[in-house]
Structure 1
Amino acid sequence: MATTDTKTKVGTGVGFVAILVWCLLPIAWIVSLSFKTVDETNAGSAQFLPKDASLDNYKALLGLTDDPVSDAAASDFGQALLNSLVVSLVATVLSVLFATLAAYAIARLEFRGKRLVLSLALAIAMFPVVSLVGPLFDMWRTFGLFNTWPGLIIPYMTFTLPLAIWTLSAFFREIPWEMEQAAQVDGATSWQAFRKVIVPLAAPGVFTAAILTFFFAWNEFVLAISLTSTQKARTVPAQMSYFVGPDPFNPPYGQLATASVIVTVPIIVIVLLFQRKIVAGLTSGAVKG
Structure 2
Amino acid sequence: MSRKEKTWWWVAGIAILVYCLFPIAWIVSVSFKPPADLNSGGFLPDNATFDNYRTILTGNAKDLFRPALRNSFGICLIATAISCLLSMFAAYAIARLDFPGKKLILSTALVVAIFPVISIVTPLFNVWRQIGLYDTWLGLIIPYLSLTLPISIWTMSAFFREIPWEMEQAAQVDGATTWQAFRKVIVPLAAPGVFTTAIIAFFIAWNDFVYGISLTSTDAARPVPAALGLFSGASQFEDPTGAIAAAAVIVTIPVVVLVLLFQRRIVAGLTNGAVKG
TM-score range, shorter chain: over 0.9
What pairs up with 1:133-212 in 2 under 5 angstroms? 133-212=121-200
Kindly provide the amino acid, as one letter, of the partner of residue 22 in structure 2.
L
Kindly provide the amino acid, as one letter, of the partner of residue 134 in structure 2.
F
2:181 & 2:221 partners in 1: Cα distance?
Answer: 40
Partner of 1:45: 40
2:107 & 2:235 partners in 1: Cα distance?
Answer: 49
Partner of 1:97: 85
Q: 1:57 aligns with which of 52, 55, 73?
A: 52
CA contact 1:130–1:222 (8 Å) conserved in 2: yes
Q: Deviations over 1:126-170 (max 9, x none)?
A: 111011101100100001000010000001101211111111111
Partner of 1:231: 219
CA contact 2:35–2:239 (8 Å) conserved in 1: no
Partner of 1:269: 257
Q: 1:249 to 1:287 in 2, by over 3 A?
A: farther
The alignment yields a C-alpha RMSD, in angstroms, of: 1.7
Q: 2:210 aligns with which of 222, 229, 237?
A: 222
Shift of 1:249: 5.2
Unmatched 5+ residue regions in structure 1?
Answer: none
CA contact 1:243–1:251 (8 Å) conserved in 2: no
Q: What secondary structure is seen at the aligned counterpart in 2 of 1:76?
A: helix
Q: 1:16 aligns with which of 13, 22, 28?
A: 13
2:31 & 2:193 partners in 1: Cα distance?
Answer: 36
TM-score (norm 1): 0.90
1:283 & 1:248 partners in 2: Cα distance?
Answer: 51
Q: Deviations over 1:28-51 (max 9, x none)?
A: 11111112223333xx22232223
Q: Say if 2:112 is the partner of 1:124.
A: yes
1:112 & 1:172 partners in 2: Cα distance?
Answer: 19
Kindly provide the amino acid, as one letter, of the partner of residue 89 in structure 2.
L
Aligned residues, how many? 277
Q: What secondary structure is seen at the aligned counterpart in 2 of 1:51?
A: coil
